[in-house]
Amino acid sequence: MPKLTRLMAVAMLFLLQACASVLSEAEQRQVAGKTYVITGASSGIGRGTALRLAALHANVVLAARRTDLLREVAEQAQAAGGTAMVATVDVANPADMQRLAETAATRFGRIDVWINNAGVGAIGNFEAIPIADHARVVDVNLKGVIYGSHAALRQFKLQGSGTLINIGSVESVVPQAYHASYSATKAAVLALGRALNEELRLAGAKTITVSTVMPFATDTPFFEHAANYSGGTPRMPAMDDPAEAVDAIVYASLYPREEVPVGWKGHGAMVGHWLAPDITESVSANVAHKYQFDTAPPAPPTSGSLHAPQPNGRGVDGGVRERMERENAAAKKGK
């Protein structure tokens, strides 16, 4: 009976989220005028979220390393109807994150929602990836979220309310072979959110919430920016459009829940892991091996944008699905 009850609850949450992509006029008015801090706002999900919120007339504080690209996003946000502020930060630097909170609160008077979105990855056999790259993944994906959460929660307690959204991943629950340090950090982000929610409950802080949004594999420049020591081009099957994650984040900012899997594939992976964790992890690993090692065209090793920002990968969509279609067609033609 407990399993059946939980399955029914998961199904209900899925149905609720399936309706969450379209905001009512009243919900759109709730976004207007609010201040959102978004790390990793120069591309991918962060950029898409910033532009969606700007179109709803929010104030967006755009934080990332690529200042020129942030200015481009800010111009688009202003044109869409929002108010934008650019902040050049490295989320792995705690001083940068504290300064981000202070400047955002000074500019707009308060911070309503803080979104820890910046993330990096390293693809390949665990021991083939240099230890410096593993360390940088931890610095950005875990320490960066800790630093951002620390600054945000202190500001929320000063002003009496606020919503913290940390971007985890389906890999927070279903670890992925060849993404070892990335999966480890995303699992830690989920644990961080759970611990913080308990602390807030014990403190009676009912107007401060922490939500962990967990996208499925999403077609963004993340894969172009990732370190890659697999010997093949970064590949992943059945990728989601970035709009699915953007919708979930915007909705979570209005109706925060402790954990938010994104889309039917995200929900399916979570339920599958809950029912049969070993089988789910094995299937996931087998699929990753097939796509990353058995079918990927050759690619040279790279640390990607882990240690220094790169000019490439500037949009919301990463073009991975289109590239994989071309690669598959070429492989089929060559047989």
Give the pLDDT confidence score for residue 19 in this predicted structure. Answer: 44
Q: Which helix (H) or strand (E) holds 83?
A: strand 83-88
> Measured between alpha carbons, how far is residue 95 from residues 111, 192, 197 in Å?
18, 20, 24
The domain limits of the chain are 31-334
Active site residue 182: yes
Q: Read off the pLDDT of residues 150-198 as tens digits, 9 standing for 90 and up.
A: 999 999 999 999 999 999 999 999 999 999 999 999 999 999 999 999 9
What percent of the chain shows pLDDT beyond 90?
90
Q: Read off the pLDDT of residues 127-144 as tens digits, 9 standing for 90 and up.
A: 999 999 999 999 999 999
Q: Per-residue pLDDT averaged across 268-294, rounded? A: 97
Global pTM reads: 0.93
Q: Read off the pLDDT of residues 12-22 as tens digits, 9 standing for 90 and up.
A: 444 444 444 57
Nearest to 266 by CA among 209, 210, 212: 212
Q: b/e string for 33-53 if b means 16 or more Cβ within 10 A?
A: ebbbbbbbbbbbbbbbbbbbb
d(CA 120, CA 306): 7
Q: Read off the pLDDT of residues 68-100 as tens digits, 9 standing for 90 and up.
A: 999 999 999 999 999 999 999 999 999 999 999
Mean pLDDT of the chain: 94
Give the pLDDT confidence score for residue 81 in this predicted structure. Answer: 97
Give the pLDDT confidence score for residue 285 in this predicted structure. Answer: 97
Give the pLDDT confidence score for residue 279 in this predicted structure. Answer: 97
Q: Which of 36, 182, 229, 251 is catalytic?
A: 182
The CATH code that applies to domain 31-334 is: 3.40.50.720
d(CA 247, CA 334): 40
Is residue 1 very low, low, confident or very high in pLDDT (cuts 50, 70, 90)?
very low
Q: Left if phi > 0, otherwise alpha if psi is -120 to 50, otherwise beta: which for 140?
A: alpha
d(CA 333, CA 242): 30
Give the pLDDT confidence score for residue 335 in this predicted structure. Answer: 66
